[in-house]
Chains A and B, each alone.
Chain A
Amino acid sequence: MNYFSRIAGLALAAATAAFAQAPSTGVLTVTEPAKLIVKRTENPAFELKVSLRPGYHANSNIPTEEYLIPFKLTWEPGPLEVAEIVYPKAKMEKYEFTDKPISVFGGDFSVVTKFKRAANPALGPGYITGKLRYQACNDKMCLPPKSVEIKLPVLMQ
């Protein structure tokens, strides 16, 4: 393989990776979910991979200050119901605008949703839709609260 072929290959791989990183709103990106195949007796779990731009943080799901908007993942009713949502362990960080450390998420992390089958779910392929609401800041400024829609393809067996 010559030099230019390698470069072209790397560029293609980078472009593919970039397109796989969707959807995104501003400083937060979630990885496109792969299809969740749910066997007849299974209660599946889904891991949502989230990435925040370096230098930014989002308030955790349990902010330490009342005025801060929490990080929250919710799902609409569908063939799967939420049993539990497991957020990552928050970091306590101090910023120029805080008197004391606050509870935040940052960098790359995962949010795991433990599902259970709904009673008499429709079998076959479908989607369940989730919404990730967050509010991000860096050391100097805050971005308005945003929501990312998560469309999780499922195959109910």
Chain B
Amino acid sequence: MTSSWKRSAATLAVFVVTMAGCASQAQKGLEKPPSTKPSASRNAAPDFTLKDVDGKPVKLADYKGKVVLLNFWATWCGPCKIEIPWFIEFQKTYKDKGFTVIGVALDDEGWEAVKPYIADKQVNYPVVTGDSVVEQKYGGIDALPTTFLIDKEGRIANTHVGLVSRKEYESDINELLQ
């Protein structure tokens, strides 16, 4: 083997090892659950009042003092449907510890689509139908599911866009309930 071939082989080996290291770090980064934001850097969750399935107003500010998992979803969204059974369980487990889930459904058909679904799944937390005003208040909801974890002071402590693990939500909830 000539010296130039050896140099090329060595360079290639270094490159491969470096890339493998980067990939490994990236993989670790994906697996690591994101922690909630430090308290000082949290912004107030925009308030809203929307109606539930019975026409009763649900006002976010009324939940101040509780940890709120605010979930934007729709019946046509497959990943949202993975999370909803988790949220039902969270509501059962943490409700008496100062926690609630609020679901904001973004179906164009409104209750016509949402009501049968929440009845079928026996959703045990407040669900409202959203509108573009609320979407805009939350920075425009470009993808579903989008979920905000709101601390007891009514500030956004974490945001998850897309399907994340149940463990990540539980980690956020437990941290915020402390």
| Residues of A that sit less than 8 Å from B by CB | 65, 67-69, 95-98, 102, 135, 137-145
Contact = CB atoms under 8 A, between A and B. Distances in A.
Contact of B162 (A69, A98, A135, A141): A141
Contacts, number: 52
Contact of B80 (A65, A95, A142): A142
B126 to A, nearest CB: 22
Given A96-B163, A97-B163, A142 B106 contact: no
B119 interface: no
A137 B162 CA distance: 10
Given A140-B162, A142-B143, A69 B76 contact: yes
B130 to A, nearest CB: 11
A97 B142 contact: no
The bracket for how many chain B residues form the interface is 10 to 19
Contact of A68 (B76, B82, B142, B163): B76
B17 interface: no
A140 B79 contact: yes
A113 to B, nearest CB: 25
Interface of B: 74-82, 106, 108, 142-145, 161-163
Contacts of B108: 145
Nearest to B146: A141
Contacts of A97: 78-79, 81-82, 163
B106 A144 contact: yes
A141 B161 contact: yes
B131 to A, nearest CB: 13
Contacts of B106: 144
Contacts of B80: 142
8 contacts: A65-B78, A67-B75, A69-B76, A95-B78, A96-B79, A141-B143, A141-B163, A142-B143
A141 to B, nearest CB: 4
A108 B83 CA distance: 31
B78 A98 contact: yes
A137 B161 CA distance: 13
